Amino acid sequence: MTNELVVEGLCAGYNDLRVLQDVSFAVPVGAVVAIVGANGAGKTTLLSTIAGLLRPSAGAIRFRDRDISRARADDLPGLGLALVPEGGRLFPFMSVEDNLQLGAYAPGARAGMAARIQEVTAAFPVLAERRDQLAGKLSGGERQMCAIARALMCRPRLLLLDEPSVGLSPLMAERVLEIVAGLARDEGLTVVIVEQRVTEVLEIADEAHILDRGRIVRSGPARQLQADKSIQETYMGL
């Protein structure tokens, strides 16, 4: 099976604090891959390093057979990799449409911006209704949908999602995860998702990796890990 992303021996952190320790995994094309673990395990650091926001101290990151270990974060959307950070980080005093336009800043995305806005708002009908509304006035679930839609504006091949359900009600969190699964299926996206709601994310994922204190300690098919009693007790509260 062809891999969209390959991470090999990755080490990264902040100044003298090493957070990631020799992390290796692969993400098949078209798969939804979950990264789960306790708070402080290094999940956000992992996505930030893949997305170019942090420089690895060792190891390699390959996206579509291209080494992006030292790539600039603002160059990666043009290559087909987009990150939705925790909380979405919309510009609250800009309209929904203006926030979406910011997602198309990569040169290849600007020409078809208007058509792409139509496509992403068709996928998120509530955003079509709120196009002229300030992003800061959206509900939590609507803000998360807008953040995902903004990332889709560059027509990514790989979507990185950091805690998309944070701060949402259980019902809205389930809805957002269903949307993620639908995007992978309908748009052919490859998705890497970091999520605290372990039970729910394993329902939509194809594969999963458990991160513990900066190291991957278990990997496998999501449903197989979901059925593992030790994982249920440690990470799912069952």
Residue with token string 């372990």: 198
Residue 9: φ, ψ to 5°:
55, 35
Q: CA–CA separation, 11 vs 34, rounded Å?
A: 19
Q: CA–CA separation, 218 vs 168, rounded Å?
A: 28
pLDDT of residue 107: 66
In one-letter notation, the amino acid at residue 70 is R
Q: What is the pTM of this model?
A: 0.92
Question: Does the pLDDT of residue 76 top 70, yes or no?
Answer: yes
Question: Does the pLDDT of residue 197 top 90, yes or no?
Answer: no
Work out the average pLDDT over 19-38.
Answer: 94
Work out the average pLDDT over 14-36.
Answer: 93
Confidence tier at 1 by pLDDT (50, 70, 90): low
pLDDT of residue 206: 95
pLDDT digits (tens, 9 = 90+) for 117-148: 888 888 888 999 999 999 999 998 899 999 99
Higher pLDDT, 155 or 232: 155
Q: CA–CA separation, 47 vs 151, rounded Å?
A: 15
Question: Does the pLDDT of residue 238 top 50, yes or no?
Answer: no
The domain segmentation of the chain, as residue ranges, is: 3-88+159-235
Work out the average pLDDT over 82-88.
Answer: 88
Burial 8-32 (b: 16+ CB within 10 A, else e): eebbbbeeeeebbbebebbbeebbb
Work out the average pLDDT over 105-114.
Answer: 70
Which tokens sit at 8? 């090999």
Q: CA–CA separation, 221 vs 202, rounded Å?
A: 9
SS3 201: helix
Mean pLDDT of the chain: 90
Q: From the options 3.30.70.270, 1.10.10.10, 3.40.50.720, 3.40.50.300, give the CATH code of 3-88+159-235.
A: 3.40.50.300
Question: Does the pLDDT of residue 169 top 70, yes or no?
Answer: yes
Element (H or E) spanning 67, and its range? strand 66-67
Q: Mean pLDDT lowest for which of 75-79, 97-101, 104-108, 220-224?
A: 104-108
Question: Diameter of the chain by CA atoms?
Answer: 51
Question: Does the pLDDT of residue 155 top 60, yes or no?
Answer: yes
Beta bridge partners of 62: 6, 67
pLDDT digits (tens, 9 = 90+) for 89-98: 899 999 999 9
Work out the average pLDDT over 87-112.
Answer: 82
In one-letter notation, the amino acid at residue 29 is V
C-alpha torsion 187→116→120→107, nearest 10:
80
Q: CA–CA separation, 194 vs 47, rounded Å?
A: 8
**CA–centroid distance for 61 within its chain:** 16
